Amino acid sequence: MNTQPIEASPERPLKLGTRASPLAMAQAYETRARLCATHNWPETMVEIVSVTATGDKILDRPLADIGGKALWTKELDAWLFDGEIDFAVHSMKDVETLRPEQFCIAAVLPRADVRDVLVGAASIHAIPPGARVGTSAPRRAAQMLHARSDLTIVGFRGNVATRLAKLQAGEADVTLLAAAGLQRLEQTGVGTPLSEHEWLPAPAQGAIGIECLAANERVRAYLSAIDDQLTHNAVMAERALLKALGGNCHSPIAVLTTHHETSLTLRAAIYSPDGAERIEAHETFAPGDIEGPQRLAHRLLADAPESVTVHFSGE
Protein backbone atom coordinates (compact mmCIF):
# COMPACT_ATOMS: atom_id res chain seq x y z
CA MET A 1 0.00 0.00 0.00
CA ASN A 2 1.17 3.51 -0.79
CA THR A 3 1.51 5.19 2.61
CA GLN A 4 2.22 8.68 1.29
CA PRO A 5 -1.08 10.58 1.03
CA ILE A 6 -1.43 13.17 -1.71
CA GLU A 7 -1.31 16.65 -0.21
CA ALA A 8 -3.89 18.33 -2.41
CA SER A 9 -7.60 17.74 -1.88
CA PRO A 10 -10.06 17.53 -4.76
CA GLU A 11 -11.62 20.83 -5.80
CA ARG A 12 -15.03 19.24 -5.35
CA PRO A 13 -16.37 16.10 -3.65
CA LEU A 14 -15.49 12.93 -5.54
CA LYS A 15 -18.44 10.79 -6.61
CA LEU A 16 -18.25 7.10 -5.75
CA GLY A 17 -20.64 4.88 -7.70
CA THR A 18 -22.01 1.66 -6.27
CA ARG A 19 -24.83 -0.81 -6.61
CA ALA A 20 -27.66 -0.08 -4.21
CA SER A 21 -27.73 -3.50 -2.51
CA PRO A 22 -27.00 -3.53 1.24
CA LEU A 23 -23.70 -5.36 0.75
CA ALA A 24 -22.55 -3.05 -2.04
CA MET A 25 -23.41 -0.02 0.08
CA ALA A 26 -21.40 -1.46 2.98
CA GLN A 27 -18.45 -1.84 0.63
CA ALA A 28 -18.86 1.74 -0.55
CA TYR A 29 -18.88 3.00 3.04
CA GLU A 30 -15.71 1.04 3.76
CA THR A 31 -14.06 2.48 0.66
CA ARG A 32 -15.02 6.02 1.61
CA ALA A 33 -13.79 5.55 5.18
CA ARG A 34 -10.42 4.22 4.06
CA LEU A 35 -9.96 6.91 1.42
CA CYS A 36 -10.87 9.79 3.73
CA ALA A 37 -8.78 8.45 6.60
CA THR A 38 -5.73 8.02 4.37
CA HIS A 39 -5.98 11.51 2.89
CA ASN A 40 -7.26 13.25 6.04
CA TRP A 41 -10.44 14.32 4.23
CA PRO A 42 -13.83 14.86 5.82
CA GLU A 43 -16.31 12.23 4.63
CA THR A 44 -18.15 14.96 2.74
CA MET A 45 -15.31 14.83 0.20
CA VAL A 46 -16.64 11.50 -1.10
CA GLU A 47 -20.28 11.43 -2.24
CA ILE A 48 -21.79 7.96 -2.60
CA VAL A 49 -24.06 7.58 -5.64
CA SER A 50 -26.06 4.36 -5.86
CA VAL A 51 -27.78 2.58 -8.73
CA THR A 52 -29.97 -0.52 -8.84
CA ALA A 53 -28.05 -2.79 -11.19
CA THR A 54 -29.84 -4.95 -13.75
CA GLY A 55 -28.46 -8.00 -11.96
CA ASP A 56 -30.30 -6.92 -8.82
CA LYS A 57 -33.58 -6.44 -10.68
CA ILE A 58 -33.86 -9.84 -12.39
CA LEU A 59 -33.86 -12.59 -9.77
CA ASP A 60 -35.89 -15.36 -11.37
CA ARG A 61 -33.19 -16.62 -13.75
CA PRO A 62 -29.52 -17.60 -13.42
CA LEU A 63 -27.17 -14.69 -14.08
CA ALA A 64 -25.41 -16.66 -16.80
CA ASP A 65 -28.66 -16.89 -18.77
CA ILE A 66 -29.40 -13.16 -18.82
CA GLY A 67 -26.08 -11.51 -19.63
CA GLY A 68 -23.55 -12.68 -17.06
CA LYS A 69 -21.43 -10.56 -14.76
CA ALA A 70 -21.76 -7.47 -16.96
CA LEU A 71 -25.21 -7.03 -15.41
CA TRP A 72 -23.47 -6.00 -12.18
CA THR A 73 -21.26 -3.38 -13.84
CA LYS A 74 -22.95 -1.92 -16.92
CA GLU A 75 -24.80 0.94 -15.20
CA LEU A 76 -21.68 2.00 -13.32
CA ASP A 77 -19.63 1.68 -16.51
CA ALA A 78 -21.97 4.09 -18.28
CA TRP A 79 -21.70 6.58 -15.43
CA LEU A 80 -17.89 6.39 -15.54
CA PHE A 81 -17.86 6.90 -19.31
CA ASP A 82 -20.19 9.90 -18.99
CA GLY A 83 -18.30 11.46 -16.08
CA GLU A 84 -21.27 11.21 -13.71
CA ILE A 85 -19.06 9.42 -11.16
CA ASP A 86 -15.31 9.56 -10.56
CA PHE A 87 -14.82 5.94 -9.50
CA ALA A 88 -16.84 2.82 -8.75
CA VAL A 89 -16.65 0.07 -6.13
CA HIS A 90 -17.13 -3.60 -7.04
CA SER A 91 -17.02 -7.05 -5.50
CA MET A 92 -14.13 -8.30 -7.61
CA LYS A 93 -15.61 -11.78 -7.97
CA ASP A 94 -18.56 -10.15 -9.77
CA VAL A 95 -16.45 -8.19 -12.29
CA GLU A 96 -16.21 -9.76 -15.74
CA THR A 97 -12.70 -10.90 -16.68
CA LEU A 98 -12.42 -8.78 -19.84
CA ARG A 99 -13.05 -5.11 -19.11
CA PRO A 100 -13.09 -2.06 -21.43
CA GLU A 101 -9.54 -0.76 -21.81
CA GLN A 102 -10.68 2.71 -20.74
CA PHE A 103 -11.08 1.43 -17.17
CA CYS A 104 -8.46 0.71 -14.53
CA ILE A 105 -8.65 -1.24 -11.26
CA ALA A 106 -6.80 1.46 -9.35
CA ALA A 107 -7.08 -0.13 -5.90
CA VAL A 108 -8.03 -3.38 -4.23
CA LEU A 109 -8.80 -3.28 -0.51
CA PRO A 110 -7.35 -5.82 1.94
CA ARG A 111 -9.01 -9.15 1.30
CA ALA A 112 -11.63 -10.36 3.75
CA ASP A 113 -12.47 -13.96 4.60
CA VAL A 114 -12.41 -16.01 1.38
CA ARG A 115 -14.52 -18.89 2.70
CA ASP A 116 -18.03 -19.94 1.81
CA VAL A 117 -20.54 -20.43 4.62
CA LEU A 118 -22.97 -23.34 4.62
CA VAL A 119 -26.40 -22.35 5.95
CA GLY A 120 -28.93 -24.99 6.97
CA ALA A 121 -26.57 -27.80 8.03
CA ALA A 122 -23.52 -28.13 10.29
CA SER A 123 -21.37 -29.63 7.54
CA ILE A 124 -21.60 -30.98 4.01
CA HIS A 125 -21.63 -34.51 5.45
CA ALA A 126 -24.56 -33.55 7.70
CA ILE A 127 -26.83 -32.43 4.84
CA PRO A 128 -29.75 -34.91 4.70
CA PRO A 129 -29.76 -37.35 1.76
CA GLY A 130 -31.53 -35.95 -1.29
CA ALA A 131 -31.71 -32.43 0.13
CA ARG A 132 -32.13 -29.36 -2.06
CA VAL A 133 -29.17 -26.98 -2.27
CA GLY A 134 -30.11 -23.43 -3.20
CA THR A 135 -27.50 -21.79 -5.41
CA SER A 136 -27.18 -20.30 -8.89
CA ALA A 137 -23.36 -20.36 -8.85
CA PRO A 138 -21.89 -23.04 -11.15
CA ARG A 139 -18.84 -23.39 -8.89
CA ARG A 140 -20.88 -24.01 -5.77
CA ALA A 141 -23.24 -26.37 -7.57
CA ALA A 142 -20.42 -28.42 -9.10
CA GLN A 143 -18.43 -28.60 -5.87
CA MET A 144 -21.50 -29.68 -3.93
CA LEU A 145 -22.47 -32.34 -6.44
CA HIS A 146 -18.87 -33.59 -6.53
CA ALA A 147 -18.98 -34.02 -2.75
CA ARG A 148 -22.60 -35.23 -2.59
CA SER A 149 -24.02 -36.55 -5.84
CA ASP A 150 -27.29 -37.40 -4.09
CA LEU A 151 -28.19 -33.74 -3.59
CA THR A 152 -30.39 -31.62 -5.87
CA ILE A 153 -29.47 -28.09 -6.98
CA VAL A 154 -32.25 -25.50 -7.13
CA GLY A 155 -31.87 -21.98 -8.51
CA PHE A 156 -31.36 -19.38 -5.80
CA ARG A 157 -30.57 -15.73 -6.50
CA GLY A 158 -30.84 -12.44 -4.63
CA ASN A 159 -28.98 -10.55 -1.94
CA VAL A 160 -28.12 -12.11 1.42
CA ALA A 161 -31.45 -11.22 3.03
CA THR A 162 -33.42 -12.52 0.05
CA ARG A 163 -31.61 -15.85 0.01
CA LEU A 164 -31.95 -16.34 3.74
CA ALA A 165 -35.68 -15.56 3.43
CA LYS A 166 -36.04 -18.10 0.61
CA LEU A 167 -34.29 -20.68 2.77
CA GLN A 168 -36.60 -19.89 5.69
CA ALA A 169 -39.60 -20.23 3.36
CA GLY A 170 -38.53 -23.75 2.46
CA GLU A 171 -37.49 -23.14 -1.16
CA ALA A 172 -34.29 -25.08 -0.39
CA ASP A 173 -32.89 -27.05 2.53
CA VAL A 174 -29.41 -25.50 2.57
CA THR A 175 -27.61 -22.69 0.79
CA LEU A 176 -24.13 -21.16 0.56
CA LEU A 177 -23.09 -17.55 1.17
CA ALA A 178 -19.77 -15.72 1.12
CA ALA A 179 -18.27 -15.25 4.59
CA ALA A 180 -16.92 -11.84 3.56
CA GLY A 181 -20.39 -10.58 2.69
CA LEU A 182 -21.85 -11.80 5.96
CA GLN A 183 -19.04 -10.13 7.89
CA ARG A 184 -19.52 -6.82 6.09
CA LEU A 185 -23.23 -6.99 6.92
CA GLU A 186 -22.38 -7.85 10.54
CA GLN A 187 -24.09 -11.24 10.31
CA THR A 188 -21.17 -13.37 11.47
CA GLY A 189 -23.40 -15.75 13.43
CA VAL A 190 -25.02 -17.15 10.29
CA GLY A 191 -24.12 -20.66 9.13
CA THR A 192 -20.91 -22.71 9.28
CA PRO A 193 -17.77 -21.57 7.43
CA LEU A 194 -16.24 -24.23 5.18
CA SER A 195 -12.46 -24.68 5.18
CA GLU A 196 -10.99 -22.91 2.16
CA HIS A 197 -8.50 -25.76 1.81
CA GLU A 198 -11.25 -28.34 1.39
CA TRP A 199 -13.87 -26.15 -0.32
CA LEU A 200 -12.06 -23.81 -2.72
CA PRO A 201 -13.44 -20.24 -3.05
CA ALA A 202 -14.41 -18.35 -6.17
CA PRO A 203 -11.74 -16.32 -7.96
CA ALA A 204 -11.36 -12.92 -6.25
CA GLN A 205 -13.81 -13.85 -3.48
CA GLY A 206 -13.64 -11.47 -0.51
CA ALA A 207 -11.90 -8.68 -2.44
CA ILE A 208 -13.26 -5.17 -3.05
CA GLY A 209 -11.97 -3.41 -6.17
CA ILE A 210 -12.14 0.28 -7.00
CA GLU A 211 -12.25 1.24 -10.66
CA CYS A 212 -11.84 4.55 -12.45
CA LEU A 213 -11.03 5.83 -15.93
CA ALA A 214 -7.48 4.89 -16.85
CA ALA A 215 -6.88 8.40 -18.19
CA ASN A 216 -7.89 10.08 -14.91
CA GLU A 217 -4.44 10.26 -13.34
CA ARG A 218 -5.48 12.38 -10.37
CA VAL A 219 -8.21 9.96 -9.26
CA ARG A 220 -5.90 6.99 -9.88
CA ALA A 221 -3.32 8.61 -7.61
CA TYR A 222 -5.86 9.20 -4.85
CA LEU A 223 -7.01 5.59 -5.04
CA SER A 224 -3.53 4.08 -5.19
CA ALA A 225 -2.99 5.27 -1.61
CA ILE A 226 -5.48 2.65 -0.34
CA ASP A 227 -4.36 -0.20 -2.59
CA ASP A 228 -3.38 -3.38 -0.74
CA GLN A 229 -0.58 -4.85 -2.83
CA LEU A 230 -0.84 -8.42 -1.51
CA THR A 231 -4.54 -8.59 -2.31
CA HIS A 232 -4.07 -6.79 -5.63
CA ASN A 233 -1.41 -9.31 -6.72
CA ALA A 234 -3.58 -12.28 -5.76
CA VAL A 235 -6.71 -10.93 -7.44
CA MET A 236 -4.87 -10.10 -10.66
CA ALA A 237 -3.33 -13.58 -10.71
CA GLU A 238 -6.74 -15.21 -10.23
CA ARG A 239 -8.24 -13.05 -12.96
CA ALA A 240 -5.33 -13.95 -15.26
CA LEU A 241 -6.14 -17.61 -14.62
CA LEU A 242 -9.78 -16.98 -15.54
CA LYS A 243 -8.72 -15.27 -18.76
CA ALA A 244 -6.34 -18.07 -19.74
CA LEU A 245 -8.98 -20.71 -19.02
CA GLY A 246 -11.53 -18.84 -21.08
CA GLY A 247 -13.98 -19.16 -18.23
CA ASN A 248 -17.42 -17.59 -18.27
CA CYS A 249 -20.51 -17.53 -16.04
CA HIS A 250 -21.23 -21.16 -16.92
CA SER A 251 -17.71 -22.40 -16.05
CA PRO A 252 -17.23 -24.03 -12.63
CA ILE A 253 -13.87 -22.67 -11.41
CA ALA A 254 -12.48 -22.58 -7.86
CA VAL A 255 -9.14 -21.18 -6.74
CA LEU A 256 -7.13 -20.52 -3.58
CA THR A 257 -4.10 -18.21 -3.39
CA THR A 258 -1.33 -18.73 -0.86
CA HIS A 259 1.19 -15.94 -0.26
CA HIS A 260 4.89 -16.66 0.23
CA GLU A 261 7.68 -14.18 0.89
CA THR A 262 8.45 -13.57 -2.79
CA SER A 263 5.87 -15.67 -4.64
CA LEU A 264 2.27 -16.77 -4.94
CA THR A 265 0.86 -20.25 -5.24
CA LEU A 266 -2.44 -20.71 -7.06
CA ARG A 267 -4.31 -23.93 -6.38
CA ALA A 268 -7.22 -24.30 -8.77
CA ALA A 269 -9.89 -26.81 -9.70
CA ILE A 270 -12.22 -26.94 -12.68
CA TYR A 271 -15.33 -29.13 -12.85
CA SER A 272 -17.98 -30.49 -15.10
CA PRO A 273 -21.27 -28.77 -14.16
CA ASP A 274 -22.67 -32.00 -12.73
CA GLY A 275 -19.66 -32.35 -10.43
CA ALA A 276 -18.74 -35.75 -11.83
CA GLU A 277 -15.34 -34.59 -13.09
CA ARG A 278 -12.84 -32.52 -11.10
CA ILE A 279 -9.36 -31.52 -12.25
CA GLU A 280 -6.98 -29.82 -9.81
CA ALA A 281 -3.46 -28.40 -10.18
CA HIS A 282 -1.27 -25.70 -8.67
CA GLU A 283 1.47 -23.33 -9.79
CA THR A 284 3.92 -21.08 -7.94
CA PHE A 285 5.23 -17.88 -9.53
CA ALA A 286 6.31 -14.31 -8.80
CA PRO A 287 3.63 -11.62 -8.27
CA GLY A 288 2.82 -9.95 -11.56
CA ASP A 289 4.01 -12.91 -13.66
CA ILE A 290 1.00 -13.59 -15.89
CA GLU A 291 2.72 -16.62 -17.42
CA GLY A 292 2.29 -18.47 -14.12
CA PRO A 293 -1.53 -18.42 -14.24
CA GLN A 294 -1.35 -19.23 -17.96
CA ARG A 295 0.76 -22.32 -17.28
CA LEU A 296 -1.71 -23.43 -14.64
CA ALA A 297 -4.66 -22.93 -16.99
CA HIS A 298 -2.99 -24.89 -19.78
CA ARG A 299 -2.21 -27.79 -17.45
CA LEU A 300 -5.76 -27.90 -16.10
CA LEU A 301 -7.28 -27.91 -19.58
CA ALA A 302 -4.77 -30.46 -20.90
CA ASP A 303 -5.72 -32.88 -18.12
CA ALA A 304 -9.47 -32.31 -18.30
CA PRO A 305 -11.98 -34.46 -20.22
CA GLU A 306 -14.31 -32.97 -22.81
CA SER A 307 -17.15 -32.86 -20.28
CA VAL A 308 -15.12 -30.14 -18.56
CA THR A 309 -13.29 -28.39 -21.42
CA VAL A 310 -16.50 -27.80 -23.36
CA HIS A 311 -17.32 -25.13 -20.76
CA PHE A 312 -14.03 -23.28 -21.30
CA SER A 313 -12.64 -21.50 -24.36
CA GLY A 314 -8.96 -21.38 -23.34
CA GLU A 315 -6.23 -23.13 -25.23
Decide: 270 and 279 in contact? Cβ < 8 Å: yes
46-51 and 14-19 strand pairing: parallel
Pick from 211, 209, 208: nearest CA to 77: 211
Main-chain dihedrals φ then ψ at residue 56, nearest 5 degrees: -85, -15
Phi and psi for 98 in degrees, rounded to 5? Answer: -100, 115
For helices 229-245 and 291-303, angle between their N-to-C axes, nearest 10 degrees: 40
Alpha helices (H) in 104-204, listed in sequence order = 138-147, 160-168, 179-184
Distance CA 222, CA 2 (A): 10
Is 94 annotated in the active site?
yes
Given the residues 94, 116, 173, 227, the one annotated as active site: 94
Using an 8 Å Cβ cutoff, are 303 and 312 in contact?
no
DSSP state of 218: H
Dihedral, 42, 47, 52, 56 alpha carbons, nearest 10: -30
Catalytic center residues: 94
